[in-house]
Amino acid sequence: MTRLDGKESEEQTDEATEEKNETEKKKSKAEKHVSFPPDEQIVSGFAEFQNRNADRCLTLTEIMAAYQQSCSKHQVQPNARVLELLQAHLK
């Protein structure tokens, strides 16, 4: 059995560390991914500002009507779950 001097030992350690780092980088990159919904499901706008009196509170009925009006204006179907949740609070 031969003995390694300090330099050779350090080089081997550095190489092993580099290989380990490369393996970890590849592994971590494989775990990450990004996905986007189809174009027709992406909402990119519809911010509507209305100058309302801050002291006045809206009723749930007014909120539902405004939501349905906005959906109609933008030619999209109202989300059934949103309507369901609003209606549940009306009772």
Write the CA distances from 59 to 10, 42, 81, integer angstroms. Answer: 73, 29, 19
Tens-place pLDDT, residues 1-14: 455 555 555 556 66
Residue found under tokens 């009306």: 90
Contact 66, 83 (CB under 8 A): no
Write the CA distances from 53 to 50, 56, 72, integer angstroms. Answer: 9, 6, 24
0.95 exceeded by the pTM? no
Tens-place pLDDT, residues 25-71: 666 566 788 888 787 777 777 666 666 666 678 888 888 998 999 89
Residue ranges of the domains in the chain? 56-91
Flag whether pLDDT at 79 surpasses 80: yes
